[in-house]
């Protein structure tokens, strides 16, 4: 365990990722408890030992230390007295269980017990009295008892095991002062000379050996106001226990032991001395007590098993019933369009908690983003670019799962700190498809030969082409889950819609043409681009009453083709550009522009599905995907002109809708998969 400082504990918990923690007896680690509570790591106290003398703190400023017991998910303690003390500190009764004493589950070492019994046979004694864990304040009292007892019963022997090594010599001095012969355990091997009346236990870790020598055991710290020491070890070894009057520290076990006839207390040293003399006169009674002590210890065992089962049930219940949370970071509009519909559906289903971080810049660009989030009721926070990339690490560390449209290692762009944090904290990631034809899923592209994914779960809209298995890394295919399309437009109507619709109303028809020329040069050649320009120009000149609205990938310009696009627009006034940052349609989304047109032409892309689900006639150009064979192809002027002039329904819509499914049903299916995958972690 690290030092109990907040930063060391935070680092430890995030790297170790414990499922739960167990603290023994009286340990209170404030930083550990507070950080574990903040990270939802269950903490348990086993063998809880809150003594009466600590309760005085409730009346002082030190009471805050006792209040930390409330941070334990459950406390396992010894008896009802302890339960009441924990309740007094603010622990809820249902979070406390009486489990018994864990030390009863620790069995004596049979080899040491046997060794002790063998040594006893060499000592020539019929009765052995043991003093265990004596402390300084009572040793003079015990010296007098030992001296008187050995004088009255010369055949008896005494084993004296002080509480601490510092008292070994002090006890020897006491025995010397009254001329009682003794030996030290450290001086013997196989024989204890019978002339020695006392054996001083001056070794550590051999308590079971000394108990093997004993008939009856006196446990110390009971003729001083210290509450007594542990009586469980001698009882487990089959030795009845006697003590002085101070037993408040062990009352939880002393009372039932006394009722069982294996434990007695005495108010005065003389009373204890008299009891010893009575025992030596009735050895059969001593042997009966020894059997009872063994039975009593056995009866009170299995505390560890009870505690383990209880914790296992609590952890299992938490894993099943405790609410998980999923985090989404939205730096730009593609992430919003791809992921927000699923996050809203997860929020409405109510089985997991959702957390959303939205870029402040995105909201400034389009205020409808925040309006949509507010209307949906999903919890979100707005952060700057630094907040999204650098300072999202804490939210990433605290979340159970992250939803993204851009895998942390399959992403081919520049370095993103949030991807580093996701991998550092080994977070469960769920990837969701955002493009109808996507590099690394549907095509190999030019970025890499083999595409691997960090995400444990990949949600895709339809089965991938067979060629995908040739470039996907081993194991990726096993993580794919087909959901149908989950991407949809949630934004309200564009504020400029009515104004622009009025301007475009002078045209008999309006056609949106979405192209990827320049952006995917490996797929769309210069010859294809030149042919498309000729078709567009010829169609525009032959039908000046029809507006052709050209829109590049995400409304962007590309330097390789910009001059030629600008030239054809200048030559044909009815060819209008839809650009993200320029012109009359600046800042309009693809769905905003689609709402203005009568039909759509596009390269293979999500725009085609947008049109299908918006009910717009749609055609494809330069198609290389078999799935689009159901749509009109407009690579020639005749086909292009025929399509833009045709108002008849399209059967291709039915085919594509059948493949990509009903949006609402798809979102439910995807939400169920997310809920089921929440407990997965990356190895």
95-141 pLDDT, tens per residue? 999 988 888 888 899 999 999 999 999 998 889 999 999 999 899 99
Task: Say whether pLDDT at 2 is over 80.
Answer: no
Largest CA distance in the chain: 131
Residue whose C-alpha is closest to residue 227's, from 24, 52, 87: 52
If you ran DSSP here, which 8-state letter would residue 200 be given? E
Task: Say whether pLDDT at 322 is over 70.
Answer: no
Q: Rounded to 10 degrees, what is the CA torsion of 649, 655, 661, 662?
A: 20
| In the block, residue with structure tokens 């059967």 | 651
Residues in the chain: 683
Domains of the chain: 6-100 (3.40.50.11720), 110-299 (3.40.50.2000), 323-482 (3.40.50.620), 497-660 (3.40.50.2000)
* pLDDT for residue 60: 73
Average pLDDT, the chain: 90
| C-alpha–C-alpha distance, residues 70 and 33, integer Å | 10
Q: pLDDT of 400-426, one tens digit each?
A: 899 999 999 987 667 889 999 998 888
* pLDDT for residue 1: 67
Task: Say whether pLDDT at 649 is over 80.
Answer: no
| C-alpha–C-alpha distance, residues 486 and 419, integer Å | 23
Q: pLDDT of 36-48, one tens digit each?
A: 887 778 899 998 8
| Secondary structure class of 334 (helix, strand, coil) | helix
CB atoms within 10 A of CB 481: 17
| Secondary structure class of 440 (helix, strand, coil) | coil
Question: Band of the pLDDT at 682, cuts 50, 70, 90?
Answer: very low
- 482: which strand partners? 460
Q: Residues 573, 546: contact at Cβ < 8 Å?
A: no
Task: Say whether pLDDT at 373 is over 90.
Answer: yes
Task: Say whether pLDDT at 480 is over 80.
Answer: yes
| Percentage of the chain lying above the pLDDT 90 cut | 64
* pLDDT for residue 37: 80
Q: Residues 253, 172: contact at Cβ < 8 Å?
A: no
Cα atoms found within 13 Å of the Cα of residue 96, Cβ hemisphere only: 23
- 199: which strand partners? 159, 183
| C-alpha–C-alpha distance, residues 648 and 617, integer Å | 9
Task: Say whether pLDDT at 312 is over 90.
Answer: no
* pLDDT for residue 62: 65
If you ran DSSP here, which 8-state letter would residue 499 be given? H
* pLDDT for residue 683: 32
Mean pLDDT of the region 191-197: 89
Question: Band of the pLDDT at 444, cuts 50, 70, 90?
Answer: confident
Q: pLDDT of 237-259, one tens digit each?
A: 999 999 999 998 888 889 999 99
| C-alpha–C-alpha distance, residues 533 and 622, integer Å | 13
Cα atoms found within 13 Å of the Cα of residue 506, Cβ hemisphere only: 6
* 66-80, 175-189, 651-665: segment of lowest average pLDDT: 66-80
Mean pLDDT of the region 436-458: 87
Cα atoms found within 13 Å of the Cα of residue 230, Cβ hemisphere only: 13
Task: Say whether pLDDT at 318 is over 80.
Answer: no
Residue whose C-alpha is closest to residue 669's, from 483, 517, 514: 483
Q: pLDDT of 596-637, one tens digit each?
A: 999 999 999 999 999 999 999 999 999 988 889 999 999 999
Strands (E), 387-536: 401-404, 428-432, 457-460, 480-482, 509-514
- Alpha carbon 389 to its chain centroid, in Å, reads 22
Question: Band of the pLDDT at 571, cuts 50, 70, 90?
Answer: very high
CA angle 222, 228, 230 (to 5 degrees): 135
| Secondary structure class of 673 (helix, strand, coil) | helix
Name the more confident of 476 and 2.
476
Q: pLDDT of 509-539, one tens digit each?
A: 999 999 999 988 888 999 999 999 999 999 9
For the chain, the helix, strand and coil percentages under 3-state DSSP, each to the nearest 5? 45, 15, 35
Q: What is the pTM of this model?
A: 0.59
- Alpha carbon 399 to its chain centroid, in Å, reads 8
């Amino acid at each position: 365990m690290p030092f109990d400082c907040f930063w060391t504990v935070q680092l430890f918990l995030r790297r170790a990722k414990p499922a739960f923690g167990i603290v023994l007896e009286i340990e209170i680690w404030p930083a550990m408890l507070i950080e574990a509570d903040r990270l939802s790591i269950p903490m348990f106290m086993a063998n809880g030992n809150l003594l009466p003398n600590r309760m005085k703190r409730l009346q002082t400023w030190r009471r805050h230390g006792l209040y930390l017991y409330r941070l334990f998910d459950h406390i396992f303690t010894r008896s009802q007295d302890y339960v009441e003390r924990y309740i007094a500190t603010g622990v809820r009764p249902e979070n406390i269980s009486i489990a018994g004493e864990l030390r009863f589950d620790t069995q004596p070492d049979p080899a040491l017990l046997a060794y002790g019994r063998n040594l006893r046979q060499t000592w020539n004694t019929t009765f052995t009295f043991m003093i265990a864990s004596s402390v300084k304040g009572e040793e003079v009292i015990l010296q007098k008892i030992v001296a008187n007892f050995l004088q009255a019963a010369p055949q008896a022997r005494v084993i004296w095991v002080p509480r601490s090594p510092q008292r070994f010599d002090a006890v020897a001095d006491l025995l010397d002062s009254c001329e009682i012969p003794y030996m030290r355990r450290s001086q013997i091997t196989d024989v204890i000379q019978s002339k020695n009346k006392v054996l001083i236990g001056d070794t550590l870790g051999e308590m079971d050996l000394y108990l093997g020598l004993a008939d009856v055991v006196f446990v110390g710290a009971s003729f001083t106001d210290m509450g007594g020491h542990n009586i469980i070890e001698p009882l487990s070894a089959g030795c009845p226990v006697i003590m002085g009057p101070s037993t408040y520290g062990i009352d939880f076990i002393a009372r039932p032991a006394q009722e069982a006839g294996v434990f007695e207390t005495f108010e005065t040293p003389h009373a204890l001395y008299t009891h010893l003399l009575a025992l030596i006169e009735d050895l059969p009674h001593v042997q009966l007590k020894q059997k009872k002590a063994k039975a009593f210890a056995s009866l009170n065992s299995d505390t560890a098993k009870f505690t383990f089962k209880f914790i296992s049930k609590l952890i299992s219940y938490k894993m099943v019933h405790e609410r998980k949370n999923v985090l989404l970071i939205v730096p730009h509009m593609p992430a919003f369009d791809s992921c927000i519909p699923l996050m809203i559906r997860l929020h409405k289903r109510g089985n997991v908690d959702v957390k959303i971080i939205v870029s402040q810049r995105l909201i400034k660009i389009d205020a409808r983003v925040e309006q949509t989030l507010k209307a949906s009721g999903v919890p979100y926070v707005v952060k700057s670019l630094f907040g999204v990339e650098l300072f999202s690490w804490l939210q990433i560390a605290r979340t159970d799962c992250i939803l993204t449209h851009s895998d942390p290692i399959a992403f081919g762009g520049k370095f993103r700190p949030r991807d580093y944090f996701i991998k550092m904290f080994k977070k469960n990631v769920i990837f969701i498809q955002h493009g109808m034809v996507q590099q690394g899923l549907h095509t190999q592209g030019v970025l890499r030969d083999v595409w691997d994914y960090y995400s444990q779960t990949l949600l895709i809209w339809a089965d991938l082409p067979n060629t995908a298995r040739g470039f996907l890394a081993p194991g990726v295919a096993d993580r794919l889950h087909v959901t149908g399309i989950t991407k949809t437009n949630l934004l309200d109507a564009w504020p400029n819609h009515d104004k622009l619709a009025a301007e475009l109303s002078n045209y008999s028809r309006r056609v949106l043409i979405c192209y990827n020329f320049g952006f995917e040069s490996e797929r769309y050649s210069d010859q294809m681009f030149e042919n498309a320009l000729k078709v567009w120009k010829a169609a525009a000149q032959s039908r000046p009453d029809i507006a052709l609205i050209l829109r590049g990938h995400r409304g962007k310009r590309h330097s390789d083709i910009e001059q030629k696009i600008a030239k054809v627009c200048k030559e044909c006034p009815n060819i209008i550009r839809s650009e993200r940052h320029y012109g009359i349609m600046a800042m309009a989304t693809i769905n905003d522009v689609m709402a203005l047109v009568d039909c759509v032409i596009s390269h293979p892309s999500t725009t085609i599905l947008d049109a299908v689900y918006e009910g717009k006639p749609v055609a494809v150009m330069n198609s290389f995907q078999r799935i689009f064979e159901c749509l009109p192809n407009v690579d020639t002027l005749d086909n292009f002109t025929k399509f833009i002039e045709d108002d008849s329904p399209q059967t291709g819509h039915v085919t594509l809708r059948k493949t990509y499914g009903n949006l609402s049903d798809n979102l439910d299916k995807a939400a169920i998969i997310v809920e089921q995958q929440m407990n997965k972690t990356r190895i």
